[in-house]
Structure 1
C-alpha cells in the first residue's frame, strides 16, 4: 500500500490530500488533478479576484441578467436551498454587512443602527433571481454582493473528491484549511477516518488532522464517505463595550454572533457541512434540531465559552 501526501494553497488557505492505493504514480496524478480542479474553482468563485465570475456578478448583476458557468449556477442554487433551510442563518449575500462593520478593512467599528437596517434590507438570497433555462443571475437590489466563502471550500472539496473517485481512488482524506474535511472510503487498516476537534482554549485552527489525538478533545467525528465542516468566530475581533465580538455576522440581525464560538457539522457532502456549520454558529445549540429537520442524519457539536470546558453543547455522541 502506497501513501501520497499533496498540498497546495488555494482560496486563501492550504488544501491537503492524503491518498492511499497500490500505485504511487496513479495516486499522485489523481491528486494533482484534484488540486487543479480546486484552483480552477477559485478562479470562478473568489470574491477577491477581479476576473472571477462572482466578482463579475457583483459588478453587473444589479444592472442586467448575467450568464454564469454551470458549476457556479449549481452552487448558487444549492446556496439558496441552504439559506432557506437555515432560516437565513447561512447567507452568502451578507457581504454588505461585512463591509459596513469594517471587517474588510482596518476600520472595524460598530455602525449606527440605521445603517445596519439599510444594509439588512439588501441582504438575502431571495433578492437573487436565478433563471435555470438560461443560467442567468439577476440581483433584485442595488448594492447586493455575493461572497461564497462560507460554502466555496466545501464545494471545492466535493469536486476534488469526485475527481479522485473518477480516477479510481478509494481511500483518501482531503481538507481545505482544516475547516472543510472529507473522508473518502476508509483508512488502509479498514477503520473509518477519525477527525478530532481540540477543545478551544485560544483562537486558532479549530480542527486538527493528525495521526495523534489532541490532549484535550472537544469531540471526535468518524468519516466514511462523509464530510466535516467547522466554523469558528476566531480571526478579526471587534471590541465593543468591553466585549470581544467575532467577525461572523448574523445576517438576520446584522449583528456579530454571540451564541457560539465554534460549530461543527458532519454530513455526506462538504458543500452542505461547510454552509450549515456557519448556520449553526449563528443559530447556536438550538439550531441543531432545526437543521436535523432538513438533514435527519446530521451530526453536530456547538461550543461556546459559557458551556462546559469538557463537554460540548450540541448533539451528544458526535461520532
Structure 2
C-alpha cells in the first residue's frame, strides 16, 4: 500500500509491501504517528518543539533521546567535513531572512559588521550535549537540523517498518531510503539530475537497501543573484556556489542527508578524501560551470 503526506514541511511518501493489508495499514499509521512525534522534537517551525525551546532558552534539560542521537550523528559529519556541515548556522539564516525580507535590501547582502556578529555564533563545537542536557556555550546561538532531520526521520520509519516484518519498501520523508528491493526482485529506481545537454534530464539510480539524498542551492535562494541560499557556508555566511546539485548514496538516510549538505560546500578533492574512507558512500557532483561537468566518487 502507499501513503502520501507531509513531513517537516516537505512532501513525503511510503510504498509498503506486506502480505497482510490490515497489518500494512497499521504499520503505516504507526509510521505517520512517529513522523509527527519527531516533528515535535526537530521542527524549527513549531513553537512547542524541543528544538525551538533550546533555541529560545539556550539549554534543554532531559532532552528526548532522539535529539541527543541526531547531535551525535551531526558531530561525526561536522568533524569529517572539517566544519562544512554545521547545524549552528541558524543565526546566519535568521540574518539573511531579515536582510532580504526587508524593504529595498542591499543586493550585496548584510553588512560585514552584522555578518561577523552572526558568524561568531556559529560553531558546532560550542554545542554541549549529553543524555541529560543540551546547552549552547554562547548566548545567541541557535540550531537548525534541516540538513539531517529528514534523513534521520526516514531511518526511524524504516526501522519501524522492518520491526513490523516489512522487507520491501520505498520511503521518502524528504530523503529517500529503500528497504530491500521491489516485489519483482528488481532494485528500486531513483532519479537524480543529469548533466546539462544530456538527452535525458534525469539519471536513474538502482537502489537496494540504501538511501539517496540530494542537495541544490536552487531549493531556496534569498537573492536574485544567487549568492545566498539555504546551503549556507558556516565559514563565510554565503551560499553554496560549486555545484548545480549533489547526490549522495549511503547505507542510511541520516548520513546521506548530512553528507549531501556538507559536500555542497566542499571542493571535489575534499569530497574524494572523505568518500575514500566511508564504505558504501557514493557521490555525484554536478559542477556549476558552463560545461556542467559530472564528477563521481565511490562505489557501492
Superposed pair shares fold, TM > 0.5: yes
CA change 1:245–1:227 in 2 (3 A) is: same
Provide the C-alpha distance between the structure 2 equivalents of 1:65 and 1:159, rounded to a whole number of angstroms. 23
CA change 1:196–1:235 in 2 (3 A) is: closer
Q: How much does 1:284 deviate?
A: 3.9
Provide the C-alpha distance between the structure 2 equivalents of 1:105 and 1:44, rounded to a whole number of angstroms. 29
Question: Is 2:231 the counterpart of 1:234?
Answer: no
Provide the C-alpha distance between the structure 1 equivalents of 2:226 and 2:193, rounded to a whole number of angstroms. 24
Provide the C-alpha distance between the structure 2 equivalents of 1:106 and 1:200, rounded to a whole number of angstroms. 33
The residue correspondences of 1:107-126 to structure 2 (distance < 5 A) are 107=102, 110-126=109-125
Q: How much does 1:10 deviate?
A: 2.0
CA change 1:184–1:215 in 2 (3 A) is: farther
Provide the C-alpha distance between the structure 1 equivalents of 2:26 and 2:20, rounded to a whole number of angstroms. 10
Q: Counterpart in 1 of 2:297?
A: 315
> Which shows bigger deviation, 95-104 or 160-169?
95-104
Q: Counterpart in 2 of 1:222?
A: 206
Does the aligned pair in 2 maintain the 1:183–1:223 contact within 8 Å?
A: yes
Question: Is 2:167 the counterpart of 1:170?
Answer: yes
Does the aligned pair in 1 maintain the 2:8–2:39 contact within 8 Å?
A: yes
Q: Counterpart in 2 of 1:208?
A: none
Q: Counterpart in 2 of 1:272?
A: 255
Provide the C-alpha distance between the structure 1 equivalents of 2:156 and 2:226, rounded to a whole number of angstroms. 40
The residue correspondences of 1:1-319 to structure 2 (distance < 5 A) are 4-61=1-58, 66-102=61-97, 106-107=101-102, 110-132=109-131, 135-177=132-174, 180-199=175-194, 216-239=200-223, 245-306=228-289, 308-309=291-292, 312-315=294-297
> Which shows bigger deviation, 142-151 or 285-294?
285-294
Q: SS in structure 1 opposite 2:178?
A: strand
Provide the C-alpha distance between the structure 1 equivalents of 2:189 and 2:98, rounded to a whole number of angstroms. 34
Q: Which runs of 4+ in 1 moved over 4 A?
A: 242-245
Does the aligned pair in 2 maintain the 1:285–1:314 contact within 8 Å?
A: no
Q: SS in structure 1 opposite 2:265?
A: helix
Provide the C-alpha distance between the structure 2 equivalents of 1:86 and 1:65, rounded to a whole number of angstroms. 27
Q: How much does 1:293 deviate?
A: 4.1
Provide the C-alpha distance between the structure 1 equivalents of 2:188 and 2:290, rounded to a whole number of angstroms. 27
In structure 2, list runs of 5 or more residues that go unmatched.
none
Measured on the aligned residues, the alpha-carbon RMSD in Å equals 2.4
1:13-42 CA-to-partner distances (Å, cap 9, x unmatched) read 121001122222211211221121111100
Provide the C-alpha distance between the structure 2 equivalents of 1:146 and 1:71, rounded to a whole number of angstroms. 15
1:180-209 CA-to-partner distances (Å, cap 9, x unmatched) read 1000001011122121213377xxxxxxxx
Does the aligned pair in 2 maintain the 1:266–1:299 contact within 8 Å?
A: yes
In structure 1, list runs of 5 or more residues that go unmatched.
202-213
CA change 1:243–1:254 in 2 (3 A) is: closer
Provide the C-alpha distance between the structure 1 equivalents of 2:210 and 2:246, rounded to a whole number of angstroms. 17
Does the aligned pair in 1 maintain the 2:100–2:223 contact within 8 Å?
A: no
Provide the C-alpha distance between the structure 2 equivalents of 1:174 and 1:55, rounded to a whole number of angstroms. 27
Does the aligned pair in 1 maintain the 2:211–2:251 contact within 8 Å?
A: yes
